[in-house]
Amino acid sequence: MNDTTAKVGPDPVELARKLAELAEKGQAALSESIKAAAQDDGFQLPDPDALQSAFVQVMQRWMSDPFRAAEAQIDLWRDYTNLWINIGRRMRGEEVKPVIEPAKDDRRFTDKAWNEEVAYDFVKQAYLLGTQWLIQQVRSTDVDPATRRKGEFYARQFVDALAPTNFVALNPQVMRETLESNGENLVRGLENMIADIHRGRGRLKVSMTDSDQFELGKNVATSPGKVVFQNDLMQLIQYEPTTPTVYRRPLLIVPPWINKFYILDLQPRNSFIRWAVEQGLTVFVVSWVNPDHRLAQKTFEDYMVEGPLAALDAIEQATGERQANVIGYCIGGTLMAATLAYMAATGDDRFVSATFFTALTDFKEAGELKVFIDEEQLKRLEAHISEKGYLEGRHMANVFNMMRDNDLIWSFVVNNYLRGRKPMAFDLLYWNADATRMPAQMHNFYLRNMYLENRLVEAGGITMRDVPIDLRRVALPVYQLSTESDHIAPWKATYAASQLYRGPYRFVLSGSGHIAGVVNPPSARKYCFWTNPENPPTPEQWFAGAARHEGSWWPDWADWIANHAGDKVQARKPGDGRLAVIEEAPGSYVKVRSLD
């Protein structure tokens, strides 16, 4: 009697039909790619020539010391010899300790076959040894820090691309699925790749989430509110209260304009905006425009005038309150630091406290983004965006994805194209893929004056509205939130602000990174945070004296902001004041998507 439940491979006729259909679609995708390449000016971020040149310089310097090079190669061969010996012992049935193991946060080798099957274990360890050796050689080579940083970045991109997990024959999970489905997973993967090329208009745009499952205002960015003011650069959203009384002083949130504000309002369960409203705060949020060539001449100064300063005027009309508290996130925090210094210089006291989320003011040690900033690369970037009027959103998205390439590139290459699966619906990755453009004048100023020349920390180094500014004149209370594993605004670099501001200063370090460490609601019971009432000169000294607390930092901030929020008044609803409602939150500006 036949077993009718046995697994049957795909119908060969149907498979042939599918392949023919994909060949036709592939031809169309190829035509799109050729057309896109013909229209492309060749500009890329990061500049592959600059990274490759830095790596070559490192290797030339490394090879200039033949004794050191020989010693390094001997060390590598010693490790590989130990690996061969261990593998031989395993094949004889012995229990042996691995020569090398993946880092705890490396999720590429979680399939049990990487440990249980000797061949895959050998491939894994051989790869990890080679990777470790190459990165160590780059880090220990005597070159200037900028060249070393670029060389290491290039080397990491190189070895991550060559990981065995990225190849069908070397990935045990992919091999199992390929054999079980007679290759149908690879057919689906090709279909996914063709769809991504179409989605990218001829460029491969790797899908990270099922974007069709999300709609702004429907299941992300859903906190009830109204747009009550707008100008060329931003819409101002006022959120509906959820408590009968609220603190007198409103709260203004100035998010980054690299990506969009709704990172703070993804879902009700993890929305910082909704939570802040529930604490009795009247919350206003700046929703920046996604600019095009028409805003090419907008400057960093314009972002101050049409951003937080315009918001303050609007908030007074909406609530009758002249003073407010403010939060600045990432580049929004850098803008707020400059704005507060400008206000201090002009005698404007309308902000009574400032909170900074993962924001840099001293860019001397500004993390991996420094890889992309030097005089040569910056001139090339300036020429590109000055001609176009803006930096395309895909370039900034590419930069941030490459900084976490295993998580944000290669894991999806494996999932989508080798395993032939659709990515899961994930709100954070939907937001991550919602790229924004950068106006030419603003972006040129920001990169040159902050990242390249680090002028914001100089007294009078930057002028706003013809006023030289100095961060040392900022004397209001400050709450600085940084995150332990931040690759965009390293926490030790953000701590430099503790030695600049003159007012009461509270530095708090959260676990996790640039996003997860900030968007960490108390209900999640994840991560931890550190506090220290003292602000010693160095971050190492601060951490040595810090106390660790489990869970979210949000309640700590709530206690702090309550001391600066004033007494309680009757809750205000959008439209109650002198500003009429323009439209429902999240507004129309945030819905403009970058298609270039």
Residue 1 confidence (pLDDT) above 50: no
pLDDT digits (tens, 9 = 90+) for 31-64: 666 665 556 666 676 677 777 787 788 888 888 8
Q: How many domains does the chain have?
A: 2
CATH number at residue 537: 3.40.50.1820
Per-residue pLDDT of 510-524, as tens digits, reads 999 999 999 999 998
151-160, 201-210, 426-435, 576-585, range with greatest mean pLDDT: 576-585
Per-residue model confidence as pLDDT tens digits over 60-105: 888 888 888 888 899 999 999 999 999 999 998 888 899 999 998 8
Q: Are residues 105 and 189 in the same domain?
A: yes
Burial 275-296 (b: 16+ CB within 10 A, else e): bbbebbbbbbbbbbbbbeeebb
Percent of the chain with pLDDT over 70: 92
Same domain (yes/no): 190, 269: no
**What are the tokens at 237?**
């959203």
193 and 250 fall within a common domain: no
Q: Looking at 358-416, which runs of residues are DSSP E strands?
A: 390-391
What pLDDT is stored for residue 147 in this prediction?
Answer: 83
Q: Note whether residue 13 is domain-resident.
A: no
Q: What is the reported pLDDT for 186?
A: 85
- Indicate the burial class of 510 (C-beta count within 10 angstroms; 0-12, 13-18, 19 or more): buried
Q: Is 370 helix (H, G, I), strand (E, B) or coil?
A: helix
Confidence of residue 376 (pLDDT cuts 50, 70, 90): confident
Q: For residues 194 and 230, state if they share a domain.
A: no
Residue 3 has pLDDT above 70, yes or no: no
Distance CA 525, CA 528 (A): 9
Question: Hey, which residues are catalytic here?
Answer: 330
Average pLDDT over residues 129-142: 90
Q: Which domain holds residue 160?
A: 21-199
Q: Give a yes or no: residue 306 inside a domain.
A: yes
pLDDT at 226 over 70: yes
Element spanning 462, H or E: strand 462-464
Task: Decide: 236 and 311 in contact? Cβ < 8 Å.
Answer: yes
Q: Looking at the structure, do residues 258 and 187 belong to the same domain, yes or no?
A: no
pLDDT tens by residue, 467-485:
999 999 999 999 999 999 9
Mean pLDDT (the chain) is: 90
pLDDT at 361 over 50: yes
Helix H, strand E, coil C: the string for 193-227 is HHHHHHHCCCCCCCCCCCHHHCCECCCECCCCEEE
Regarding whether 235 and 193 lie in a shared domain, the answer is no
Same-domain pairing of 93 and 43: yes
Quote the tokens at residue 488. 């965009």
84 and 130 part of one domain: yes
